[in-house]
Chains A and B, each alone.
Chain A
């Protein structure tokens, strides 16, 4: 079983829709939860970072963590074509960071 599972998609939505991305993890010792955005031919860019259960908002982005279910989510409101990218979840703890395989999102104009 992989430490972090992420649906690879691809996901295609119309402009203005809400994008919902999810990851599950197996290790309850994980303490830090991150989402990265990766554009084609670029390195991953840190989008959201949290270390507690609950919601964290930053503009159109909301990160949600449910430690009891070992489940994290990223929501993108009012999606734009510029949000088209691959989104990777990353979960860390105990001096180790594990990444999901990434979900490719396309926002259609």
Chain B
């Protein structure tokens, strides 16, 4: 399984500001995924980040709000822009561990970023 380092682990931010979350993997992976975990709710996929192409966003998530970078096969960032209290959540980076790297196989997660927006 991949070792995934995510930072910051937590942050408290002011409304209207932006926060960039970093995700580093100890091996090269084709696809990296960003999830949001709100209290009492299931993990929700925000977007899939492929190296060398634009991220693919799920319904309800847009690039202007959650810009993603994927400069190489071991690193990705997610920015939460123009934050509001509704963005308070845990944000998780993950990579696929299956043979095909597809999203339907095993996922391994970073330790998450606990974001609180005041």
Given A43-B6, A44-B92, does the pair A98, B42 have CB atoms closer than 8 Å?
Answer: yes
- B106→A43 contact, CB < 8 A: no
Q: Which residue of A lies closest to B43 (CB)?
A: A99
- A interface, size bucket: 20 to 34
Query: Is A14 on the interface with B (CB-CB < 8 A)?
Result: no
Asked if B13 is an interface residue, CB under 8 A from chain A, the answer is: no
Q: Are B109 and A8 in contact (CB under 8 A)?
A: no
Pick from A4, A49, A95: contact of B42, CB below 8 A: A4
Query: Which of A52-60, A68-76, A85-93 lies at the interface?
Result: A85-93
B110: chain A residues within 8 A (beta carbon): 43
Identify which of A49, A97, A102 gathers the most chain B CB atoms within 10 Å of its CB.
Answer: A97
**Are B40 and A8 within 8 A (Cβ)?**
yes
Contacts of A96 in B (CB 8 A): 103-104
Q: How far is the CA of A53 from the CA of B17 in the complex (A)?
A: 48
CB 8 Å contact bits of B33-77 with A (1 = contact, 0 = none)? 000000011110100000000000000000000000000000000
Report the Cα distance A98→B44, complex, angstroms. Answer: 8
Q: How far is the CA of A99 from the CA of B45 in the complex (A)?
A: 10
Q: Are B104 and A92 in contact (CB under 8 A)?
A: yes
The 4 closest A-B pairs by CB, nearest first: A92-B104, A43-B109, A99-B42, A99-B43
B residues whose Cβ falls under 8 Å from a Cβ of A: 1, 4, 6, 9-10, 40-43, 45, 92, 94, 97, 102-112, 114
A sample of 6 cross-chain residue pairs with beta-carbon separation below 8 angstroms, ordered by A number, consists of A34-B106, A43-B6, A43-B112, A46-B97, A95-B102, A99-B43
